[in-house]
Amino acid sequence: MASLAWVISSNPGHALSPNILAHDAKPRKICYSQCSTFFLPPHRSPICRMGFVSGLERKRSLKTRIFASVTDTPVNAYPEKVQLPKGDCWSVHKFGGTCVGSSERIKNVAKIILSDDSERKMVVVSAMSKVTDMMYDLIYKAQSRDEAYISALDAVLEKHKSTALDLLDGDDLSSFLAQLHHDISNLKAMLRAIYIAGHATESFTDFVVGHGELWSAQMLSCVIRKNGLDCNWMDTREVLIVNPTSSNQVDPDLKESEDRLEKWYSKNPSKTIVAAGFIASTPQNIPTTLKRDGSDFSAAIMGALFKAGQVTIWTDVDGVYSADPRKVSEAVILKTLSYQEAWEMSYFGANVLHPRTIIPVMQYDIPIIIRNVFNLAAPGTKICRPTEDETDQGLESFVKGFATIDNLALVNVEGTGMAGVPGTASDIFSAVKDVGANVIMISQASSEHSVCFAVPEKEVNAVSELLQSRFREALNAGRLSQVQVIPNCSILAAVGQKMASTPGVSATLFNALAKANINVRAIAQGCTEYNITVVIKREDCIRALRAVHSRFYLSRTTIAVGIIGPGLIGATLLDQLRDQAATLKEEFNIDLRVMGITGSRTMLLSEAGVDLSRWRELQKEKGAVADMEKFVQHVHGNHFIPNTVLVDCTADSSIASHYYDWLRKGIHVVTPNKKANSGPLDQYLKLRALQRQSYTHYFYEATVGAGLPIINTLQGLLETGDKILRIEGIFSGTLSYIFNNFTGGRTFSEVVAEAKQAGYTEPDPRDDLSGTDVCRKVIILARESGLKLELSDIPVESLVPEPLKDSASAEEFMQKLPQFDQEMSKKREIAEDAGGVLRFVGVVDMVNQKGEVKLQTYKNDHPFAQLSGADNIIAFTTTRYKAQPLIIRGPGAGAEVTAGGVFSDLLRLASYLGAPS
């Protein structure tokens, strides 16, 4: 067994060891066995059974330094050396702190070990949950000369004592409690020494914090033995030898560790071994730890030493996710990962394994299984070398997962003087090294004009200041133009071994980011092609992660929808969405999730999506005072859904005035509201320019023909090179109904009243009869065709008699309208005498660069004379369709068809954003 040697230094004249705590002390050694008692009373020298060193009181002004080491003592020779078996007969299990966080959980771990049918088992355990933090806190308090370390140590004792009383009995309980009290006594003396010195070496700290693992290993081994299984526990400091590195990490010495394992096993042969994770020793036998994720690392090293069949890492999640499930609710468990994929994902912050953990097992092709100790039914994730028979195809298989790192800053060193100058990059990163900063990612263009790299934000100021100082001369001379810091950045990494040599992966990644309106600040990809890394704004990180994950991993396209104006059209659209929701999800993988509904007075907001089967009730029960800014912020602020669309079902010009700002923020807009596209020309041009230069979509098919494909048809003609000569049509379903029924002996006022009663007209029929609505549609088509016209440029023949324009109400207007029937009847008679009918039409004349709205006569054999009901009809005369115009005909009014046109635009948006077309 090893013994612990303590060095108390008090002579300033001797050379100093790196482990010595004082700069003015002479090393003098005191040795004691592990079962001896070490204590340091407040006013006395350190005492042990093997001797003591006096002089602390004589030299109270001197700082006292203490360090610890583990040294080998002679090993008693066994009559016959027991050979350590190696290979697949061993399975290695590692249990983290949450797995052994209580007596019940330790019993659960024991059951898992007992149920493992492997011939031999090596179990690596962490300290009980939060114990390692408690041990570090002891060191902190003692160094700070805070006497609360005594009560804190008592809490550590009580935690383990109460756990042992729940788990153990008889000799096992007596033995463990005796060892526990002994260890606590030693720690109390050690902490007292630290309290006096006001400082603890790294060796002291490592020795103190490693006790948690020792205690949990001892308790678990007792529980396993209690259940009838042969089991020994291992103080891993006797076996694992590691070499500290300059980067606050350690490298395992596998050869020396293997030799020590052979010796240990020859004295402690057993088919089940419980080892303390996290702790090890240096080649000089000084206690140390394996630093970050040390228990996982211990398990991997043990797997390599035993050449085990597999290493199972037990944790509290079902496996490795395709993305952080706290950020991407639809993240899925990955069945398998290659070593390289796990390595890449863990480097970029995924909750997988630390890259060091993978190295020892990778060289022996030992698979690692990540499993959930609280959900044994979950198969977990297997990390191994990829096999040739993996046949999963499709884009999803190329990218295994996505990970992010937050709180970064970009440093950009730029200047024409960098190009072709050897050593510039070396000088830059030499300065970064001098600061001790960690470079996460590097990117340099082939022009060598600039080098940018990402570092943790807390380190960027020091990096920037040193670079400014180091390159002061080059900056002053103009060889370098700037050392720029870009704060508030995050890194997004796409990882997959099959990405290598697969065309289109990068294109798909950047296309998904662009469609989510995410700007990429820097890009890096290694020649292995296992990883594509992009730097983005911190506030865009979750949205970007969700967008790329949705594009690659989930076929479902989810869009956050905000409905503005739940009136006749808006309410009908909501009902259509309700009726189609299940089909869209199951058959087309489209999830149009309504996150909010707002009217002029009340709004309904939901975090998960409004239940459309009862949205009217919910609006009454949970509705809040309408606030457009809060509404937009809520719908767009859901980071789990990367794409947002606002659907304006109003006819309100004030709502339309928000479109530009919404599009600029990356919010898509779908609307039947004509006010934006027929409003002031300069605002319209500004809106369309923004739409064309961004990946934000603005769809307005329902502004002209309700559900008829008029805008789409016009855009298709123009995009394919056709030239528009004339667009002529009956654009008003209301006026179409009126003139289709204004026949025989019926009066004009009678037909208008009938149309109003049937719900075809606006509440005030003058809004239809004035021709303004048709004029807006003409302007929309004229501008779409390339004419830069204002609404006032279109002459409109109003059907409202001049004396009735200023009627006080719609009712008064309807009462007085019969007085003017004779005038309209005369016009009808003239048309009939000429063998035709009256139709109210809008015209876009591209040849003469003008538009007009008027009442016109058409021959009875003309397509416009063949209409019935409230149908619309539009004729496109183009260079291709000159002799025979292209005609679109169908219902052009009514809530059902208008809402259907808006719904169609929503589905078109989903297709643009990645849904199957």
Q: What is the second-level CATH architecture of the domain 710-893? A: 2-Layer Sandwich (3.30)
Instruction: Extract the runs of DSSP E, i.e. beta strands, from 415-496.
Output: 441-444, 450-456, 482-495
Does the structure show a pLDDT above 70 at 327?
yes
Q: Give the Cα separation of 712 and 693 in Å (integer).
A: 19
DSSP label of 416: G
Mean pLDDT, all residues of the chain: 85
For 345-390, write each residue's pLDDT tens digit: 877 766 667 778 888 999 899 999 999 999 999 999 999 988 655 5
For 113, other C-beta atoms within 10 Å of its C-beta total 21
DSSP label of 802: G
Q: Give the Cα separation of 271 and 273 in Å (integer).
A: 7
pLDDT level of residue 476 (50, 70, 90 thresholds): confident
pLDDT level of residue 585 (50, 70, 90 thresholds): confident
> What is the chain's length?
917
Q: Give the Cα separation of 218 and 20 in Å (integer).
A: 31
Confidence (pLDDT) at 580: 93
The gap from C-alpha 132 to its chain's centroid, in whole angstroms, comes to: 30
DSSP label of 330: T
Summarize the confidence of residues 865-885 as an average pLDDT.
91
Q: Give the Cα separation of 451 and 443 in Å (integer).
A: 6
Q: Could you give the maximum distance between any two Cα atoms of the chain, in Å? A: 132
For 119-151, write each residue's pLDDT tens digit: 999 999 999 999 999 999 999 999 999 999 999
Q: For the chain, how far is it from start to end, CA to CA, in angstroms?
A: 71
Confidence (pLDDT) at 293: 67
Q: Where in the chain is the domain with CATH 3.40.1160.10?
A: 90-315
- Residues serving a catalytic function are 777
Confidence (pLDDT) at 675: 93
For 683-720, write each residue's pLDDT tens digit: 999 999 998 887 789 999 999 988 899 999 999 999 99
Helix (H, G, I), strand (E, B) or coil at 655: helix
Does the structure show a pLDDT above 80 at 341?
yes
Write down the residue that tokens 């914090």 correspond to: 209
Q: Where in the chain is the domain with CATH 3.30.2130.10?
A: 399-554
CA distances from 623 to 243, 602, 650 (A): 64, 6, 19
Q: Give the Cα separation of 712 and 715 in Å (integer).
A: 5
Q: Where in the chain is the domain with CATH 3.30.360.10?
A: 710-893
Q: What is the second-level CATH architecture of the domain 90-315? A: 3-Layer(aba) Sandwich (3.40)
CA nearest neighbour of 55 among 47, 44, 66, 63: 44
Cα Rg of the chain, angstroms: 39
> What phi and psi, each to the nearest 5 degrees, are found at residue 353?
-140, 155
Residue 7, both tokens:
């060095």
Q: Where in the chain is the domain with CATH 3.40.50.720?
A: 557-705+905-913
Which stretches within 516-562 are classed as H helix? 541-552
CATH of the domain spanning 557-705+905-913 = 3.40.50.720
Confidence (pLDDT) at 916: 57
Residue bearing the bigger pLDDT, 733 or 91: 91
Q: Give the Cα separation of 372 and 387 in Å (integer).
A: 25
Confidence (pLDDT) at 388: 57
Confidence (pLDDT) at 12: 32
Could you tell me if 266 and 82 are in contact, meaning their C-beta atoms sit under 8 angstroms apart?
Answer: yes
For 11, other C-beta atoms within 10 Å of its C-beta total 13
Does the structure show a pLDDT above 50 at 2?
no
Confidence (pLDDT) at 639: 61
List of residues 6+ apart from 144 with CB closer than 8 A: none
For 678, other C-beta atoms within 10 Å of its C-beta total 27
For 533-579, write each residue's pLDDT tens digit: 999 999 999 889 988 887 777 556 789 999 999 999 999 999 999 99
CA nearest neighbour of 321 among 349, 297, 362, 357: 349
Q: Give the Cα separation of 769 and 817 in Å (integer).
A: 12
Task: Tell me the β-bridge partners of 558.
Answer: 591
In CATH, which of 3.40.50.300, 3.30.2130.10, 3.40.190.10, 1.20.140.10 is domain 399-554?
Answer: 3.30.2130.10
Task: Tell me the β-bridge partners of 51.
Answer: 48
pLDDT level of residue 640 (50, 70, 90 thresholds): low
For 256, other C-beta atoms within 10 Å of its C-beta total 16
Q: Which residues of 20-47 are buried (b: 16+ CB within 10 A; e: fewer)?
A: bbbebbbbeebbbeeeeebebeeeebbb
For 274-290, write each residue's pLDDT tens digit: 999 999 999 999 999 99
pLDDT level of residue 305 (50, 70, 90 thresholds): very high
Q: Give the Cα separation of 60 and 42 in Å (integer).
A: 12
Q: Give the Cα separation of 623 and 625 in Å (integer).
A: 7
Summarize the confidence of residues 296-308 as an average pLDDT.
95
Summarize the confidence of residues 833-841 as an average pLDDT.
93
